[in-house]
Structure 1
Amino acid sequence: MTHPVPRMTPEEAQAWLGLIRVCDLLPSELDSQLQRDSAMTHFEFGVMTYLRWMPESTASMSEIAEATNATLSRLSHVCSRLERRGLVQKSTSPADRRVSRVTLTNAGRRELVRATPGHIATARRLVIDALSPEDLADLARITAKLGEQLDPEQRFATGR
């Protein structure tokens, strides 16, 4: 007994493959720019940005992992690298010694501030400036809809 394989229409395939192409290409472009200009990866930039907006620039490893969609193992390696560079400081929570915390240092804040203009310029060059205002509105609407589908609990909702 054979089962028919579902197919996409040409329009569906074009949209799907276009999305996959962007999802595959954009992260490496962001990484390349940040590594070249600021000696950090896009993931490191994201971790440091998250910490910057937390009270006292501090969060638990679990909070950061959830906010960045990372495993604790990956995050631990990244935070160790950032700590060796003096950009973050790891510590144990005084309330619960089982909880590891990470704090953005003053040096980390300076590096993040230094990296941000180039990162924004790259985002503009690769995405924002390539689209009309109508396209940007469509992109915002489409990504919001896809975000709701992929993240029903809104763990990664923008504006938080």
Structure 2
Amino acid sequence: MINKETIKTLVEEWLQKGDYFLVDVMMDGDRIAIEIDHADGVWVEDCAELSRYLQEKLGEELDEYELEVGSAGLGQPFKVVQQYKNHIGDEVEVLAADGKKYVGVLKTVEENSFVITTKEKQIPEGKKRPVLVDVDKTFAMDEVKYTKYVLNFK
């Protein structure tokens, strides 16, 4: 019987060949779904190569499962720190634990936190009209419901 740790170990072995990284391994009954990512995107050929590598290592034992190898979806929430790092400088949407949404540019990423720069209306001292100013907001990764890349078609 194949377990999740065995799959993770084998995927990590294969990933050492390049700049890919593991996002998630999901096992549900007779289905194994593996998500990988890369700063420049994931190629179908690499997913097929990883699938063949797993078949070679696990042999007939893998025949009992439906294996799906793919990339982390572009519009899907980030699951690992490396996804945050790959999107520094990009616009992201954050849903905070309090339910408030923020959209801004991902500025910095640490192991357990990240900073986005948002635009907020503020009234400068001595003025009557608000102006948009850049404001940095810091979030702890375990205190947000999700963070995801914002697709812009400009």
Say which structure, 1 or 2, has more relative contact order (CA 8 Å, 6+ apart).
1
Larger Rg: 2
Tell me whether the two structures share a fold, i.e. TM-score over 0.5.
no
Q: What is the TM-score normalised by the length of structure 1?
A: 0.23
Point out the structure with the larger strand share.
2
Q: What is the TM-score normalised by the length of structure 2?
A: 0.24
Point out the structure with the larger helix share.
1
